[in-house]
Structure 1
Amino acid sequence: MADTTSEFSRDSSRDISTSTETSEVTGTPDIQDSPEAPDTPDTPDAVNRAIAAARAAAHAAGLDTEDDEDTENAADTADTAGAGFAGVAAGFRGARPGTTRRAGAQLTSFTFHFDGLASAVRAGEIEAALNTLPGVQARVVYSTAMAWVTAPESLNPDILRGVFAEYGVESWLTAASLRRRSERLTAPGRRHISENRRRREERLRKRREDVNPGVGNSSGAPGAPGTAAGKRGAWLSGGQDNTEVLHTARALITGARLLVAAVLGIPVVVLQIATPWQFDYWQWLCLALALPVVTWCAWPFHRAMIAGLRRGMPALDAASSAAIILAYLYSAYVLITGPAGDPGWRSGNILIAWGYHGDALFLDVACGCTLLLLFGRLASRRSRLRSMLALNMVLPSGATTEEKVTVVRRDRQGRPAKFTISPAEIRVGDDVLVAGGESVPADGEVIGGRAALDNGPFGGVASDGQVEGAVSVGSRVFAGARHLGDATSEPLKVRVSRTGSRTRIAAVRRWIAAAEQDENQLDQLATRTASLLVPWGVVIAVIAGLGWFAVRDSTDAAVATALTVLVAVAPVALAVSTTLSLRIGLARAAAGGTLLRNADTIHHLAAIDAIIFNRAGTLSTGPMSVIGVTAATGENPEMVLRVAGALSLESPHRVCRAIVRADRESRDSGSGGAEVPHWLEAGQVEVDDHGVFSATIDLPDRDGKPVRQVMASLWRPRDLSELTNPVLVNAALSGGAPLVVSWKGEPRGVINLADTVAPDASGAVDALEAAGVETFMMSRDTYRVARRMADSVGISTVLAGISPNRKAATVRRVHSNGATVAMVGDRDVLDCLAVADVGILMGAADHLDPPAVGRTAHAAAGTGDADIVLVREDVSAIPEALNLARHVRSTVNGNLLFAWGYNIAAVVLAVAGVLNPLVGTALMLGSSLLVEWRSARIGHRDYTATGGMAGRPRYAGVSTHKRT
């Protein structure tokens, strides 16, 4: 015990010395600076003085220091033997002196960068030292020079930095950790969240669930609704945009209102239409029955109208609300002032305005319109909610915050042990056990077990057409994937590489939120435009009513015409005709593993008539491989490979990785003999605009004695005229993509590389050709090599010998010949994607962050200026996306044509007096439901078929190297 105490005392002294820096940053006086700070922290009096000093410091920082039971009890226990040490230790950890961490205290995480670590052995020693601190679990990774620490919220991070400093290592918190700590320190009363705040948050959550049922479900997946990342898309969490007030409040349109309207309103309609069933005082009974219908049942529409008037923006259902009020008030006026109020009065069955004469009641219009509106808007509400949640629902949910995950970490003795934690506590480097039926909580690599996973819409399509596949050791898995086994299945052991906001599913959610933000702006514009139809409808109704009164001298006919015009206009159909289709289109594309930048991308993609594939990274699958090395006369093929490997060592390009891999295998096998060195040193490698790698290489003389420095280069020939050696020319034509290795200004050898054609590439190209899209393949290879590749997949036009600095200009040239161009490529050709009409990015599963606003700069380590990102790794996603875009465009055009055509026809018929108000209401609702039904078909159609895309004229622009 004495040893432990002395060791902790040394730690405490270190903590006191390092706490001054924190106090300067946060503005909180340090305990040691207080005049009441104890000089001998091992006495009860010193503990009490430390408590007083801590409270004074907390007051100065603006924190709540109200006495609570836990503090008082802890202070009392500090008077007992040994409590002085516990109180001071708690104070040194950053808690209030005299207290120990309560069982319910929250944990927090710190991420450190460090510098000066000599070896991985030292990393293990530092990790063990950190784990000896109370409540601390640490993981130190030598290769990345980072450390992840889970600790009590009260712990001062300077204590952790002090541990690093003891080993001569400089450490500092990451920006994210500093931001979290700053927010935590500046939040008043951070240790005691008030009950009032909790109740407010609970009420807000329930309100959001009432407005958007299903949105409030908790999900631990990064970016899920309710988490920090998920709140970036405001309306996904229940928020309403500025024009939402123009729609009738969805939460107020309930089944209870519909039921009351049906029970009270249907008898009114029946009695007014069926004259034989009328009896004395029937009209007064109908007036009484209609009162709750036109007030309480129709209140959602009246409320929307009032809110719109208050904001100076007419609500979409304002015309119908005005019609209901006008019909009831006019009927009450007729009953009170005219003979219609007599007990024995009977009404006639009048269908159109031409038939109105004498006194007439419109209670059937008031009740029938309310009933039909409630029924139609209730059906529309469910459809609209499904569309608004569509994008969020296509994502796998992942582990919820209530669930626990099992991880394998080293305990304080350095032995592997299992811990059950929440998904938020997972750290990079943890080994997570995923049992059958559970979801993978973070991105990582399988290091144990074998299982079938359901990867959701972003896992690619297996050979059997399903989105599930077997994974084993070495396979990469992503957060949200679900283990398809049961409780008896073998668990997967996954080593975590990305957590939280860095996972792929979190990036997908950010991309979708960015697309929704753009779509919401379009929705606001469409809603505002459609709302302008309401005041025009009111003006037309007034003019038509006055006209009928002047012509027929009948107030009843004038009111009937005005009512018909008001209920027949359909601004809702016009408002959703565009945005609903686009929203469902974005969701349907995401469900197929295709992320679209915004709604405009759908229109641009539907209009393309030419598509350019960059050969590398799109039409092939798997890593490239070296299939042959040919040396010039007198040169050693192994030396050629060594030089190429030295030049390619630091490049991430797939071609360079293949060369480095082949060079490593050659060295390991010991081929080449004594004259070929095991390793070649290269100077600073430079890459010019043509993609030529150049550097100085230390080469031995042929006798292997002296070392000489020569300038070497690795380049790809654009045509065979660049090679004069017949041996190398024949090698360049023998197959595969040729790379030339030169030194001292002379070509010394040719390396041939090949990759595997994607199994679905041929079918995808055929589908695009059938859709009337001209297909191009752009490559740096010579024409004969590129043509061989293009013929294998059926591409019609080859753009060969295009160096990297000329690829963007080539895309512009195809566009300048009259084509609407889509460019397909990986992250190596982001500049080409930016200049195309539609940029389609493949192979970016690890870099899915949405592009920056505008098209002016690439997003760092993200998707650049890509308009479309294919999360799936199959080429068939491209014709599917094209088919979807064209279907969405045709649906939008059809909806707009129908909505405008209906409104014009309905107003004309209403003004002409040949349309009954109830029939006009039914037609108005039918038009809205028809538009929604047409839009909903987008989410259910199979887009793998190409019949909907065929029949368009093919682009016949660039004539470079066409297939014969």
Structure 2
Amino acid sequence: MTSTLQIPTDVLELNVGGMTCSACANTVERKLNKLDGVTASVNFATERATVIGIDPGNPQAAIDAVTRAGYTASVRATDDDAWSARATEVKISSLRRRLAVSALLTIPLCDLTILLALAPGFRFPGWQLVCVLLALPIVFWAAWPFHRATVRNLRHGSVSMDTLVSLGSLVSFGWAVYTLVFAPSTTPGYWLGFGVTPAGADSIYLDVAAGMITFQLGGRYFETRSRRRAGDVLNAIGNLAAREARIRTADGVETVIPAGRLRVGDTVVVLPGERIPADGIVTAGHSTLDTSAMTGEPVPQEAGPGDRVVGGTVNVTGRLEFTAESVGTRTRLAQMAALTEDAQRRKAGVQTFADRVVSVFVPAVIVLAIVVTTVWLLLGSDASVAVGNGIAVLIIACPCALGLATPTALMVGVGRGGQLGILIKGQDALEASGVIDTVVLDKTGTVTTGRMRVATTIPLGAATRAEALRIAGALETGSEHAIAAAVVEEALTEHRDLPAVVDYEALAGLGGRGVVEGAECVIGNLRLLHEAGVVVDDGLASIVGDVEAGGATAVTLVADGVVLAVFGLTDTIKPSAEAAVARLRGLGLRTILLTGDNEVVAGVVGATIGVDQVIAGVLPADKADTIRALQADGRRVAMVGDGINDSAALATANLGLAMMRGTDIAMKAADIILVREDLRVVADAVQLSRKTLRTIRGNLVWAFGYNIAAIPLAALGFLNPLIAAAAMALSSVLVVSNSLRLRGYEPDRPDLAP
């Protein structure tokens, strides 16, 4: 039974602007959910809000709620799927410019501040002013996104990592300017671990502000790039839909109208080469349909009166007329898009470790810095000492290492994955890979090549194999069918030249007939033989039955009423499939083969490659339901696929892996793209993802552990801001160094030949 996605009629979709992190999405979601009778969900990746329970014709209440949260909102038009892509591109361009300027100015600024502050002999008149001028664009222009987010958050009573970055950079800059202008040091200071410093060394906070901003911009830039393609799958599925439809009116006139104006019951005409605009039942005509984009199966579908057609597929050979039954959002294609977006929205709502603690960590640090300053003042310390200790707390807690923990490991892991034929899209893939226990493999195009081949040739009577192939190959040159192409390819391996076929006729769903060297020839299934008047005895029926029982498609060749041969055609299993399944099972993962093929064919393939379970006869729209059923049973599922029909399942699974030679839509829906043709790359991807995830977790543990250990030292006055800046830089170096270890990572591949 085909599943139907029930789409509520009171759904409002909004484009939400101004979000900088998943915490922003949570803020918007909370504001919307406070509206009476409203259930809302915000997808940070696609920058959309789905609001249920509000009149789409009167969206102002929802827009006002988003505005009150400090963000912008507009109603999303039906055909405006590219909004999030445009918004993300604008963000990436802005971040790239700010990062470039910040990095170019930070390098000379750090060189100057450290060299001139610690080596007084190199100082020149106005060196402090030069340093301040270099820092100004970094602190106020490059860091503007952090300042803007901080002001917006504070206005609405919330905080984020942006708050800490903004305050840390402004306070560092402000204190540096203050000490340079109003309270320059005239006596040496003590630099923990390095002894006495030259006079004025304790005023070097400009490099702290600049370095902090540069690190954070770099992390934000890579994060934004990694999620840029999150909404591409929705656009790609939308592009698959036909934009126009040709309908035949009651008076017989054919008119081309926008596909959006189609109504249930319309008679739709589809010419060869055109895309089918809706789901329906064929009423007239015969044709071959290219359904591979929707089903992933290599064999074209024959369509005639009474057969069902699906929107998004392509009419290849003949003219078809059908009655529209499902149009617009009710088509199977639209349901796939909705299922995929729903799955992506759920995945985007998963909070990372840093996001979960930020609501406590950031305000705690700010309060602690204020408390430390106040306590030192109450103890009678000089204002410069008290403020310096408070700034040291704020600086030492600034999340440079935390901001680098994920992006650096991710980028190094992605780079190493590229060398191994694995493209990792983002942290969601890494998180999921660490907990999956089940791998679901699509059959066609994933486990198999997706190309038909002649696996068996059974000559009958006096015919030889070579002669049967010569006649069959000649006859099938008149057809564009995938089975015909496989027969021709097999025939050409033994015969350089094939005789010509005359009066060839393709018979939809049956096979074909024509004249070869004066003989009336027929090739096709048993139904065609019956219609052609060929006697099908028990022996022939038994042979055909045996071929089909072995998981092959049986095709029979007849010349002048005499049966010459039976051919068995199969989809070729990839050579690496069996070893790949063995490695996945060796990693402790349960393996499942998922396919729309019948149980016999699926069972043969599953037994050959050694999977734990075979699930056959699954319709495209039901693949995501199958994944959800496994998840409901407590399974954490990875899905490996390649077709458009796999896109919703890839997005629904805890971890989606798409083959590089699959459709663009499948690759955009997946978390990981597998470039190598060798299917063992699936196990490599799981191993690399787990290693990268362990590295990220190690980085996060260090980043927070460093803060926990260093903050008390700063609060007790053992770290002045300069030492805090050095410790912060050291923490960042350690995090980056740990991430760089991934460059030498080699997956365990014992099954690969040396």
TM-score range, shorter chain: 0.5 to 0.7
The Cα offsets for residues 884-937 of structure 1, whole Å up to 9 and x where unpaired, read as 222233333333333333334333332233434333222211222223333344
Count of residue correspondences: 517
How many angstroms does 1:753 deviate by? 3.1
Look up the match of 1:267: 119
Q: Which has the bigger relative contact order, CA under 8 A and spacing at least 6?
A: 2
Query: Is contact 1:304-1:318 (8 Å) kept?
Result: no
- Aligned counterpart for 1:608 among listed residues 436, 455, 472: 436
Query: Is contact 1:768-1:879 (8 Å) kept?
Result: yes
Look up the match of 2:378: 550
Give me the whole-angstrom Cα distance separating, in 2, the residues matched to 1:539 and 1:650: 77
Q: Are 1:329 and 2:329 matched, yes or no?
A: no
Normalising to structure 2: TM-score of the pair?
A: 0.52
- Aligned counterpart for 2:505 among listed residues 681, 684, 691: 681
Does the residue aligned with 1:682 lie in a helix, a strand or coil? strand
Normalising to structure 1: TM-score of the pair?
A: 0.42
The Cα offsets for residues 651-698 of structure 1, whole Å up to 9 and x where unpaired, read as 665x56324545788999889xxxx99765234x2xxxxxxx457979
Look up the match of 1:241: 95
The 3 A distance-change label for structure 1 pair 830 and 751 is: farther
The 3 A distance-change label for structure 1 pair 551 and 696 is: same
Give me the whole-angstrom Cα distance separating, in 2, the residues matched to 1:843 and 1:364: 55
Look up the match of 1:844: 661
How many angstroms does 1:946 deviate by? 8.2
Letter in 2 for 1:240: S
Q: Are 1:925 and 2:738 matched, yes or no?
A: no
Look up the match of 1:225: none
The 3 A distance-change label for structure 1 pair 300 and 906 is: farther
The 3 A distance-change label for structure 1 pair 376 and 362 is: farther
Extract unaligned runs of 5+ from structure 1.
1-229, 272-284, 353-359, 392-518, 686-692, 715-721, 852-857, 948-964
Look up the match of 2:687: 883
Give me the whole-angstrom Cα distance separating, in 1, the residues matched to 2:474 and 2:646: 26
Does the residue aligned with 1:875 lie in a helix, a strand or coil? coil
Query: Is contact 1:304-1:317 (8 Å) kept?
Result: no
The 3 A distance-change label for structure 1 pair 748 and 299 is: same
Look up the match of 1:573: 401
Q: Percent identity?
A: 23
Describe how 1:707-856 pairs up with structure 2 within 5 A.
Answer: 712=528, 725-732=541-548, 737-739=552-554, 751-754=567-570, 757-778=573-594, 789-790=605-606, 792-799=608-615, 811=627, 813-827=629-643, 829-830=645-646, 833-834=649-650, 837=653, 838-842=655-659, 844=661, 847=663, 849=664, 851=665
Aligned CA RMSD, in angstroms, stands at: 6.1
The 3 A distance-change label for structure 1 pair 296 and 332 is: closer
The 3 A distance-change label for structure 1 pair 774 and 594 is: same
Does the residue aligned with 2:697 lie in a helix, a strand or coil? helix
How many angstroms does 1:785 deviate by? 6.9
Higher strand share: 2
How many angstroms does 1:547 deviate by? 1.3
Letter in 2 for 1:319: G
The Cα offsets for residues 617-676 of structure 1, whole Å up to 9 and x where unpaired, read as 3334595432334589999999999999989976665x56324545788999889xxxx9
The Cα offsets for residues 820-855 of structure 1, whole Å up to 9 and x where unpaired, read as 33333443853674575144333627x5x4x3xxxx
Does the residue aligned with 1:612 lie in a helix, a strand or coil? strand
Letter in 2 for 1:366: S
Give me the whole-angstrom Cα distance separating, in 1, the residues matched to 2:627 and 2:557: 31
How many angstroms does 1:790 deviate by? 4.6
Give me the whole-angstrom Cα distance separating, in 2, the residues matched to 1:625 and 1:347: 83
Look up the match of 1:3: none
The 3 A distance-change label for structure 1 pair 623 and 883 is: same
Look up the match of 1:316: 165
The Cα offsets for residues 287-312 of structure 1, whole Å up to 9 and x where unpaired, read as 98873476346546544598469746
Give me the whole-angstrom Cα distance separating, in 1, the residues matched to 2:644 and 2:216: 45
Query: Is contact 1:627-1:754 (8 Å) kept?
Result: yes
Does the residue aligned with 2:441 lie in a helix, a strand or coil? strand
Q: Are 1:873 and 2:674 matched, yes or no?
A: no
Give me the whole-angstrom Cα distance separating, in 1, the residues matched to 2:190 and 2:621: 80
Query: Is contact 1:647-1:713 (8 Å) kept?
Result: no
Give me the whole-angstrom Cα distance separating, in 2, the residues matched to 1:289 and 1:681: 91
How many angstroms does 1:942 deviate by? 2.6
How many angstroms does 1:526 deviate by? 8.3
Query: Is contact 1:825-1:841 (8 Å) kept?
Result: yes
Letter in 2 for 1:252: L
Q: Are 1:251 and 2:104 matched, yes or no?
A: yes
How many angstroms does 1:322 deviate by? 2.4
How many angstroms does 1:590 deviate by? 4.1
The 3 A distance-change label for structure 1 pair 831 and 694 is: farther
The 3 A distance-change label for structure 1 pair 694 and 374 is: same
Does the residue aligned with 1:316 lie in a helix, a strand or coil? helix
Give me the whole-angstrom Cα distance separating, in 2, the residues matched to 1:882 and 1:736: 31
Query: Is contact 1:248-1:317 (8 Å) kept?
Result: no
The Cα offsets for residues 126-184 of structure 1, whole Å up to 9 and x where unpaired, read as xxxxxxxxxxxxxxxxxxxxxxxxxxxxxxxxxxxxxxxxxxxxxxxxxxxxxxxxxxx
Give me the whole-angstrom Cα distance separating, in 2, the residues matched to 1:321 and 1:832: 46
Query: Is contact 2:442-2:595 (8 Å) kept?
Result: yes
Look up the match of 1:897: 701
The 3 A distance-change label for structure 1 pair 816 and 263 is: closer
Extract unaligned runs of 5+ from structure 2.
1-84, 151-162, 227-346, 531-537
Query: Is contact 1:776-1:797 (8 Å) kept?
Result: yes
Give me the whole-angstrom Cα distance separating, in 2, the residues matched to 1:760 and 1:328: 64
The Cα offsets for residues 681-737 of structure 1, whole Å up to 9 and x where unpaired, read as 234x2xxxxxxx45797999xx9799xx995399xxxxxxx999544444456x663
Letter in 1 for 2:102: A
The 3 A distance-change label for structure 1 pair 918 and 873 is: same
How many angstroms does 1:265 deviate by? 0.7
Look up the match of 1:365: 202
Letter in 2 for 1:892: I
- Aligned counterpart for 1:582 among listed residues 393, 410, 433: 410
Query: Is contact 1:305-1:317 (8 Å) kept?
Result: no
Does the residue aligned with 1:926 lie in a helix, a strand or coil? helix
The 3 A distance-change label for structure 1 pair 349 and 521 is: same
Does the residue aligned with 1:263 lie in a helix, a strand or coil? helix
